[in-house]
Amino acid sequence: MPEAISDLDILLSNEEALVAALHRGDPLGCTALVKRFGGQMYAVALRIVDDPDDAEEVLQDAFVTACRKMHTFEGRSKLSTWLYRVTTNAALMHLRKRRDDTVSLDEPQELDEGDVLPRQLGDWTVDPSQEALTGELRQVLEQAVRELPASLRAAFVLRDIQGLSTEEAAEALGITPGAVKVRLHRARLALRERLAGYLSEQPQPIRA
Amino acid sequence: MSAQHDHSRCRELLGSLSDYVDGDLEEALCREIEAHMAECENCRIVVDTLRKTVLLYHVLPSDPPLPEAVEQRLFKRLELEHIIPSRSER
């Protein structure tokens, strides 16, 4: 005999029911929120703060905020987008506390044109559509993201790793879609440079 | 880049390349970039490797489930640990 569908299963499969449960303060709603989105939000927090203990603290702060402030979710965006915003805010706040206060996380660093001009101009033989990512390549990809400035990293993680649309990433980051595009482009160019050192057949730094 | 090549156009087009690889660029500018790439090997490589950069991150494995110990501590912080048993108890 199949197992009966539990209340938790219903909340896990029906976003409308989940939002309603959260709005009425049902503890099962918050439990389902963790079960459904905990892995995604932890992954984002970990990539932004780059430390498992700090990521866990961010995750806890984010879900405490989400469960207590559910009344501020008006349903105009997807629940996941709203939760990405809460988590990203918590992660960036955490970095502000952890780092030198004079470092701005609101504006992209490395704004000089020279920093984003392509310098590595060797071809890559890698075929991402065919490529089963080796452990080594995966580490190279993750390390390259870690080396991005925080504001660029957050935009890149949400847009190109988590797969949010430009508009969703803009809402999650509290910036305009145009600003997301600028940060994303700078992040991609910076990553391309870093990956070239590993993937390029013949790295050929451009000469001025 | 070759001595004969006009680098200024490469710089002008650079800012549009992410929109180009995402397919978000207007048709006329796409044609302009493609015409430029036909004559500029460096820009062709930059576009190709930028596209590969994006694709490599798209094929990263999806997020793993929340580690059980992390989940349990989160439930404790949320005072929800009594709601459902841990995975190992089920």
What residue in A sits closest to B65 (Cα-Cα)? A39
Any domain includes A93: yes
Residue (of B88, B45, B46) closest to B69 by Cα position = B88
Residue A104 in domain = no
How many domains does one find in chain A? 2
Question: Cβ A133–B61 below 8 Å, yes or no?
Answer: yes
Q: Which domain holds residue A36?
A: 7-98
Which of A192, A193, A194 is the best substitution to test chain B (most B C-beta atoms within 10 A)?
A: A192
Question: Any residues with CB less than 8 A from the CB of B58 and at least 6 apart, and which?
Answer: A128, A160, A163
- Give CA separation, A77 vs A43, A80, A81, in Å: 21, 8, 6
Q: For residues A161 and B60, is the Cβ–Cβ distance under 8 A?
A: yes
Instruction: Please write the tens of the pLDDT for every residue from A174-206.
Output: 999 999 999 999 999 999 999 998 888 654 555
Domain of A26: which CATH number? 1.10.1740.10
Q: Which residues of A28-44 are buried (b: 16+ CB within 10 A; e: fewer)?
A: bbbbbbbbbbbbbbbbb
Please check the confidence at residue A43 and state whether its pLDDT lies above 90: yes
Q: Is B67 helix (H, G, I), strand (E, B) or coil?
A: coil
ipTM of this predicted complex?
0.85
CB < 8 Å to A42, chain B: 63, 66-67, 70
- Chain A residue closest in CA terms to B87: A35
With CB atoms and an 8 Å threshold, state whether A185 touches B15. Answer: yes
* A93 reaches B (C-beta below 8 A): no
More confident site: A178 or A129: A178
Is A208 a member of any domain?
Answer: no
Q: What mean pLDDT is predicted for residues A48-64? A: 96
**Are residue A128 and residue A93 in the same domain, yes or no?**
no
The Cα A26–Cα B12 span in angstroms is: 55
Q: CB contact, 8 Å: A12 with chain B?
A: no
Residues A74 and A156 in one domain: no
Task: Let me know whether A79 and A123 are in one domain.
Answer: no
Q: Are residues A67 and A26 in the same domain?
A: yes
pLDDT at A158 over 80: yes
**Interface contact B14-A117, CB threshold 8 A:** yes
Question: Any idea how long chain A is?
Answer: 208
Same-domain pairing of A73 and A124: no
Mutate to test the interface with B, among A70, A156, A186, A188 (most CBs of B within 10 A): A188
- Establish if A206 belongs to a structural domain: no
Domain boundaries, chain B: 7-58, 62-90
Work out the angle between the directed axes of helices A79-98 and A52-68 (0-180°, nearest 10). Answer: 130
Q: Residue range B59-81: average pLDDT?
A: 91
Share of chain B above pLDDT 70, in %: 86
**A160 interfaces chain B, CB cutoff of 8 Å:** yes
Same domain, A72 and A121: no
* Dihedral pair phi/psi, residue A200, rounded to 5°: -70, 140
**Residue B74, min C-alpha distance to chain A (Å):** 6
Give a yes or no: residue A105 inside a domain: no
For residue A202, give Cα distances in angstroms to A16, A25, A122, A197, A198.
53, 59, 5, 9, 10
More confidently predicted of A103 and B83: B83
A152 located within any domain: yes
Q: How far is CA B63 from CA A128, A157, B7, B66, in A?
A: 19, 12, 41, 9
